[in-house]
Amino acid sequence: MRTRAAHFFFAFMGFAIAALGQEGPSPMATAPLFDATRLRTGEFHYRVVKDGKEVSRSVLIIQKQTDANFRFTAEFDGFNQQWLSIATVAFAPIRAQLRSDGANGGKYSMDVVYEKGRATASVSRWKLETSSASRGKKITADVPLGTVDQRIDWAAMLSSPLPDGQKFEFTVYDPETGISHVSASVAGKEEIQVPAGTFETIRANYRIEKSSGPETYTIFASKDVPRVLVREDFQNGESLQLTKIGGDYGSK
């Protein structure tokens, strides 16, 4: 899950993720399909901590829709941000939206539709204190097969089998930064403690080569399937930590 500040499948029947070149045999040399059914659906509560202090609370909802697609929504109170992302079970993107109200009175909104290998986005920025009109723009881009909407890169990571030592790569898209390459690796199992309890987790690292500069993330996924995002660490020192798991929302 990404605040981006603040930020909260590939082969046949989905899409193919190219594996990183390695010498000799290695686990999952060709990355397997992303599969959203490996994710636990329901309502998940988190806190964002930096330097030992809580800076935000967030709620993530993952739902499997009646059309078999998956809907992800998140809201961060401390960052005044909400986003939505809808994708197929194989993480092919369908729709994404984001709205953020900045502390300085600035606002940002984004709505992107993915269709037939192309993304069409409407992006607006404006300031309330000046009553300035919304400055909107249209952005279109070709989206390569196998690209994941950037709001749910963490969820795509969780949906991989994640065997020890796995290395793989894929791409993500955001209207502001375009197509970005992602390289990922699985570091192994680790027991961690968060406000929701103690979990056996799988630790995985990934790096996004964005046009604005590289970003690195570490996720801790529950070892058992269906998986839950237990913790995510960001390069700016923030840590997203699970505080509570709500009920399963089922299909919508």
111: pLDDT strictly greater than 50: yes
> Is cis: bond before 195, omega within 30 of 0?
no
pLDDT tens readout for residues 199-214:
999 999 999 999 999 9
- Dihedral sign of CA atoms 107, 6, 246, 113 in order: positive
Does residue 182 contact residue 206 with C-beta atoms inside 8 Å? yes
Q: What is the pTM of this model?
A: 0.84
6: pLDDT strictly greater than 50: no
pLDDT tens readout for residues 129-183:
555 555 679 999 999 999 999 999 999 999 999 999 999 999 999 999 999 999 9
pLDDT tens readout for residues 56-75:
999 999 999 999 999 999 99
